[in-house]
Amino acid sequence: VSNTSSVGGFRNFAPQASVTDGLLDVVIVHRQNIFEILPLLVQIANGVHVSHPKITYFQTDHLTVDCPGHSPIAMDLDGERGDLLPVTISVLPRAIQLIIP
């Protein structure tokens, strides 16, 4: 879940993302084996992965993430440990003002 196109060093991971559109970009990479993931990494690097059959990509203004039936799972927030699932993530449009030259 991102609000920018760049994620984890991939510049076009969420190619439709914009910090001004009021939407979160959600990229779900479905389970696959090592032989499937390697070509997909090349597609991700080139920003052409969103039509891949094992990728789900959508935009929304809010999202609940849960993993029922599993031991507690913590969110990863840009490399930092976050709250345990379930979590609800939402956009707060125009929550801060930026002055940009």
pLDDT band at 63 (very low <50, low <70, confident <90, very high): very high
Q: Are 36 and 72 in contact (CB under 8 A)?
A: no
More confident residue, 18 or 60: 60
pLDDT of 30: 92
Round the average pLDDT of the chain to a whole number and report it.
88
Rounded Cα distance, 40 and 29, in Å: 10
Among the residue ranges 8-17, 25-34, 50-59, the one predicted with the least confidence is: 8-17
Q: How far apart are CA 71 and CA 22, in angstroms?
A: 33
Task: Give CA–CA dist 4/25, Å, rounded.
Answer: 8
Stretch (H or E) spanning 39 = helix 34-46
pTM over 0.75: yes
